[in-house]
Chain A
Amino acid sequence: MAKQLTIFMENRPGRMKSISDVLLENNLNIWAFTIQDRGEFGLMKLIVDKPEKAHLILADRGFACVLKDVLAVTAENDQPGNLDRLTTALLEKGVNIKDAYGFVSPKDRQGICLIEVENPDGVDLEEAIAAHGFTLLTGKELYEL
């Protein structure tokens, strides 16, 4: 499982900048991010190259943030239909997708999908997606892209 940094953020000018400022000061790199919006606030979700450090630094600055487990899924070949097969694989096993976003790795143009899931039955997710040709990246593999 990989770690995603989830930060509580008010929806007003300057909040995103205050986070990016901190990351810049500490030379931290963002691979991917998304924002789940709820009106007056939102959750900023980031994949960074040093999640534990980023977590500590942001917490030290008074942000409410946690590291959450996410699936970092990649396929052998980046092609149309991958997302369809992936969502089917999870649906079959009763695994619910709560949030998802993706990016393309600079290294070898690998498509990487980050998924927050609800896995009430404790299904072996690695196995579930491997059957459809997907692999899970470990944290280390993800951060060191």
Chain B
Amino acid sequence: MKITQISVFLENRKGRLSQVCSMLGQAGINIRALTIAETESFGVLRMVVDKPSEAADLFRKNGITANQTAVVAAEVPDKPGGLAEVLKTLSDSDVNVEYMYGFVEKHSENALLVFRFDNPELAARILRENGLKVIDEKGIQGL
């Protein structure tokens, strides 16, 4: 139930973010979620795309160092308290969240949250046991 997150360094170069985005756009790869770390992991751009292996190849061919990490994406009802509920469920089960980011899906009333857990399998299982929908690779493609 894990999906792949791609991360690259934005370094301090101007235009790097737009360079990355247009590169992906031109290759027909869609970005589902992204975040730029500001404090810890400063300068690292993290994203979830619909075709992660293609994106990884694309970066490699263009000499941009990229990293792949297993993350968990879960659907959260887009209402006040939705996030709090999810976090409480995790914390009650002693699951550690290293970082997270999210966005609202276009065609539904849900928000998608991307989590980096130290134990993604356990976390995904707990989320499902608590009635939250965990999205797999296919699900990401179809968004």
Contact = CB atoms under 8 A, between A and B. Distances in A.
Classify A-B as touching or not with yes or no (CB < 8 A). Answer: yes
Contacts of B44: 56, 59-60
30 contacts: A26-B67, A52-B65, A53-B67, A55-B9, A55-B65, A56-B7, A56-B8, A56-B9, A56-B44, A56-B65, A56-B66, A56-B67, A57-B67, A59-B9, A59-B41, A59-B42, A59-B43, A59-B44, A60-B7, A60-B41, A60-B44, A60-B46, A60-B67, A60-B69, A61-B41, A62-B40, A62-B41, A62-B98, A62-B99, A64-B40
Contacts of A55: 9, 65
B10 to A, nearest CB: 11
A60 B98 CA distance: 11
B79 to A, nearest CB: 31
Contacts, number: 31
Interface string B17-42: 00000000000000000000000111
The 10 closest A-B pairs by CB, nearest first: A62-B40, A52-B65, A60-B7, A56-B67, A57-B67, A56-B65, A60-B44, A59-B41, A62-B41, A53-B65
Interface bracket on B = 10 to 19
- Grouping DSSP codes into helix (H, G, I), strand (E, B) and loop, the B interface class, with mixed when no group exceeds half, is strand
Contacts of A56: 7-9, 44, 65-67
A100 to B, nearest CB: 28
